[in-house]
Amino acid sequence: MKENPGPASSVRVLHGVGDTRAKTLEKAGIVTVEDVVRRFPRAYQDRGDVRRLVDGKDGQKHSFLLTVATVPSNARLRGRLTMTKFRVFDDSGSAEAVFFNQPYLREVFHVGDVFRFYGSLSFVKNRCQISSPAYEPAEEGAALPDYFPIYTLPDGISQKVFRGMVESALPLVLPSLSDPLPDRVRLENRLPALSLAIRTLHAPENGEQLQAALRRMVFDELLLLGLGVSLSRCQGEAILTRACRKTTLGPLLAELPYELTGAQKRAINEIYADMTGYGKQSDLIPAMRRILIGDVGCGKTVCAAAAIYIALSSGRQAALMVPTTILAEQHYRDLAPLFTKLGYEVGLLTGGTKQSEKKRLLARLCDPENPLPLVIGTHALLSDNVTFADLALTVTDEQHRFGVMQRTALKEKSAASHTLVMSATPIPRTLAHVLYGDLSLSKIDEMPKGRQRVDTFVVDESYRTRLYDFIRKQVSAGGQVYVVCPSIEEKVEQDEEGGIPLEELDFTRALRPASPPLKDAKGYAKELSEKIFPDIPVALLHGKMKQADKDAVMEKFVSGEVKILVSTTVIEVGVNVPTATLMIVENAERFGLSQLHQLRGRVGRGKDKSYCILVSDHPGTVAEARLDVMHTTYDGYEIAEKDLSLRGPGDFFASGSGEMRQSGGLSLKLAALCRDTALMEAAFRAAEEITRDDPDLSRPENAALKRDVERMMTGNQKTVS
């Protein structure tokens, strides 16, 4: 006898889902009935914001409560097109409702009936018209839902079809859905049950319900993040490794052309103590698990060099992994001469390494008699055929560009190796504990002598002509310019469905000034190269380009062949270009402050005076206050703290450190919505309480939490869009 369908059943059990549609859904990670339910909306139509016709904005989608005034008429147009039209009205005026290829609507709309229409107004020959709106009968005494969900879907699956699938899937999943959150935690934080939260996300009746549901799901993600860090800390404490030889760093320091800062010395001493087991009697010590955080240009690389020297002087090996080929080549150019002088050979392994050289490097890395001491590389280091004879240290630069599993894969080349990760993302103290709680933290909060300050200005669109003049002046003086845009290509803020993205939902429905249009990198690069600066070499760089193409563009910028580089935030982590003297960020209000601080750090790395100009026409007081912080503050940690107080923690999960969400990283999907620091702290506090009683989540009542944590940490949480 066939069992009744349940959460783990194939999507094929749902009405209207055959083999073809199921295969399409599978490509998007929707395989089971529960996957359908866990595919949460990305946006909502705010149909509860009902306007009068006189208050509707031309070309913008709104809801209107309108009465049918005339009998619908059908007219045949050219080809097989038909048009149905009739007049509707409210107490402020009337409009013509127009629909195409839906002649059956004559039987739907009757004179005197009241409907809630959702669509765009337009004016045709001075007559008001609403074309192909969504509609719902407004019956007296029956409440209509305020918010209508919009999903991210694969091609071939319409919103209407997927909503039907969700409606069919909910009763198959929710009755058997267990809530992993302990009742005590849920009640203390006034959170709805999981089943109610999921149902509400798909079919909210009002804004208050939707807010509560989103709050629950954000809390869950932050709780799982806190639990994951605790589990990782617990597992890391159990790893023992051989202590490196206690040695003097004199030979290394003698080769440096500058004096270390106090912060650098402190960080190196902490690394030395970890790797050598300083003060411990045993040769077996806990493996170092340390993160080194500091602003761009603060001198993290020399601290990594010290860690590498400790490993190599013990007769063992070290590996340094970076996210891009061009950054790997820069590290190789900086470190290879230094370590060669000290008597250690260095190899470079990237996707572009010639096959013959790659074969030689692979053989040397695993040669027990004559192993290659140090290798610098990209993701190529993660290949199965890369093995080490005696790996003592793994260093990961720009750690947030790698997923958790990618960093783990490098470490697993030698399970007992020491680990050092580096990040240029300033994190507030309250966040650092949970984001890096499984790692010992070294912070470089002092800049090297001679590092100049990058003067920062906030301007609006009225400065555009002067801005172009300043760009030309910088290029004429031998400088180069970064121009950063918030999007790759032009996009409409509200898509064809009229949905408001989750992060922009305003449940107060306050009348806010319209956001300025976004500068897109593709369109702006074309405009600059063809119209504004046809005599100056301009190039485009964005994250969707192939790695080889990105490297080629950056090579041209580094060499000086390209003078103006228009980019997305892919250059937030980049190579050192001393001749880059101007950073321009368009639509600056769209970026987190820590991200803006990182971008600002791309310039001011040479001898010439450098500038950062933030362009924003956003009139909001919060946006103005945030950007004013960039104008007056230059300490990354102070900026991060102010951003946290102004905007809450969401930006740190959406960008900067939040890039853990990338492929292979943490599957944080809704945490970027968190604007409530108290909610974040409550989630982290709950995680600490749970793991205090059950450090490895081995108790039966925590089994579901442990499963969800593991799914999040491995990036396999396909059930959330």
Whether 541 and 620 map to the same domain: the answer is: yes
User: Tokens in use for 653?
Assistant: 């999960």
Task: Give pLDDT, residue 369.
Answer: 92
Q: Among the ranges 24-33, 469-478, 594-603, which has the highest mean pLDDT value? A: 469-478
The span from the CA of 529 to the CA of 552, in Å, is 18
The span from the CA of 162 to the CA of 154, in Å, is 10
Task: Give tens-digit pLDDT for 437-453.
Answer: 768 888 888 877 767 78
Task: Give pLDDT, residue 534.
Answer: 96
Least confident of 69-78, 326-335, 409-418: 409-418
Mean pLDDT of 480-503: 73
Q: How far is CA 184 from the centre of its chain?
A: 32
Asked if residues 84 and 74 have their Cβ atoms less than 8 Å apart, the reply is yes
Q: Is the pLDDT of residue 410 over 60?
A: no
Whether 71 and 186 map to the same domain: the answer is: no
Residue 537: CATH number of its domain: 3.40.50.300
- Residue 583: enclosing H or E segment and its boundaries? strand 580-585
Which of 58 and 22 is assigned the larger pLDDT?
22
Residue 89 lies in a domain: yes
Please name the residue ranges forming H helices in 532-581.
547-559
Task: Give tens-digit pLDDT for 224-282.
Answer: 888 887 877 776 666 788 999 998 999 999 999 888 999 999 999 999 999 999 877 77
Residue ranges making up the domain that contains 94: 48-144
Mean pLDDT of 552-564: 93
Whether 114 and 35 map to the same domain: the answer is: no
Q: Which of 633, 659, 678 is the last residue of a domain?
A: 633
The span from the CA of 82 to the CA of 637, in Å, is 62
Residue 643 lies in a domain: no
Task: Give pLDDT, residue 138.
Answer: 93
Residue 100's DSSP bridge partners are: 83
Q: Which of 454, 475, 464, 471 is nearest to 519 (CA)?
A: 464
Whether 503 and 616 map to the same domain: the answer is: yes
Residue 269 lies in a domain: no
Q: Please, what is the end-to-end C-alpha distance for the chain in angstroms? A: 34
Residue 475 lies in a domain: yes
Task: Give tens-digit pLDDT for 128-158.
Answer: 999 999 999 998 878 898 999 999 888 889 8
Whether 490 and 564 map to the same domain: the answer is: yes
Using a 10 angstrom Cβ sphere, with 0-12 exposed, 13-18 middle and 19 or more buried, the burial of residue 439 is buried
Whether 109 and 167 map to the same domain: the answer is: no
Residue 467 lies in a domain: yes
Interstrand relation of 317-321 and 374-377 (parallel, antiparallel or unpaired): parallel
Confidence of residue 484 (pLDDT cuts 50, 70, 90): very high
Q: Which of 414, 432, 415 is nearest to 423 (CA)?
A: 432
Task: Give tens-digit pLDDT for 492-540.
Answer: 444 456 677 777 777 766 655 556 778 899 999 999 999 999 999 999 9
Which of 492 and 7 is assigned the larger pLDDT?
7
Task: Give pLDDT, residue 716.
Answer: 47
Whether 535 and 613 map to the same domain: the answer is: yes
Whether 198 and 109 map to the same domain: the answer is: no
Q: Is the pLDDT of residue 649 over 80?
A: no
Task: Give pLDDT, residue 2.
Answer: 46
Asked if residues 611 and 583 have their Cβ atoms less than 8 Å apart, the reply is yes
Whether 36 and 159 map to the same domain: the answer is: yes
Task: Give pLDDT, residue 661.
Answer: 30
Confidence of residue 311 (pLDDT cuts 50, 70, 90): very high
Task: Give pLDDT, residue 404.
Answer: 46
The span from the CA of 502 to the CA of 150, in Å, is 10
The CA-atom distances, in angstroms, between 472 and each of 454, 465, 475, 524 are: 19, 11, 5, 16
Q: Which of 600, 633, 666 is the last residue of a domain?
A: 633
Asked if residues 291 and 421 have their Cβ atoms less than 8 Å apart, the reply is yes
Which of 623 and 403 is assigned the larger pLDDT?
623
| % pLDDT > 70, the chain | 88
Q: Among the ranges 338-342, 493-497, 714-718, which has the highest mean pLDDT value? A: 338-342
The span from the CA of 258 to the CA of 490, in Å, is 46
Whether 624 and 482 map to the same domain: the answer is: yes
| % pLDDT > 90, the chain | 49
Q: What is the CA radius of gyration of the chain?
A: 29
Task: Give pLDDT, residue 493.
Answer: 41
Residue 87's DSSP bridge partners are: 96
The number of beta carbons lying within 10 Å of the beta carbon of residue 123 is: 11
Token pair 């869009």 in the structure block, residue: 721
Task: Give pLDDT, residue 572.
Answer: 59
Residue 539's DSSP bridge partners are: 565
Q: Is the pLDDT of residue 664 over 50?
A: no
Confidence of residue 108 (pLDDT cuts 50, 70, 90): very high
Residue 304 lies in a domain: no
Task: Give pLDDT, residue 403.
Answer: 45
Residue 611 lies in a domain: yes
Q: Is the pLDDT of residue 721 over 70?
A: no
The CA-atom distances, in angstroms, between 405 and each of 360, 400, 503, 584, 662 are: 27, 12, 28, 34, 11
Q: What share of the chain is helix, strand, coil (3-state, %, to 5)?
A: 40, 20, 40
Residue 117: CATH number of its domain: 2.40.50.140
Which of 188 and 721 is assigned the larger pLDDT?
188
User: Tokens in use for 77?
Assistant: 């147009």
Task: Give pLDDT, residue 453.
Answer: 86
Number of domains in the chain: 3
- Mean per-residue pLDDT over the chain, rounded: 85
Q: Is the pLDDT of residue 691 over 80?
A: yes
Residue 67's DSSP bridge partners are: 89, 114
Mean pLDDT of 104-112: 95
Task: Give tens-digit pLDDT for 264-275.
Answer: 999 999 999 999
Least confident of 398-407, 412-421, 673-682: 398-407
Task: Give pLDDT, residue 590.
Answer: 85
Task: Give pLDDT, residue 64.
Answer: 96
User: Of how many residues is the chain composed?
Assistant: 721
- Residue type at 699 in one-letter notation: R
The number of beta carbons lying within 10 Å of the beta carbon of residue 613 is: 22
User: Tokens in use for 108?
Assistant: 């739907």
61: three-class secondary structure by DSSP? strand
Residue 371 lies in a domain: no
The number of beta carbons lying within 10 Å of the beta carbon of residue 678 is: 9
Q: Which of 585, 614, 633 is the last residue of a domain?
A: 633
pTM reported for the whole predicted model = 0.75
The span from the CA of 57 to the CA of 320, in Å, is 56
Q: Is the pLDDT of residue 486 over 70?
A: yes
Task: Give tens-digit pLDDT for 41-63.
Answer: 988 999 998 999 998 888 788 89
Task: Give pLDDT, residue 408.
Answer: 55
Token pair 């500068």 in the structure block, residue: 519
397: three-class secondary structure by DSSP? coil
Whether 525 and 585 map to the same domain: the answer is: yes
Whether 467 and 595 map to the same domain: the answer is: yes
The number of beta carbons lying within 10 Å of the beta carbon of residue 55 is: 11
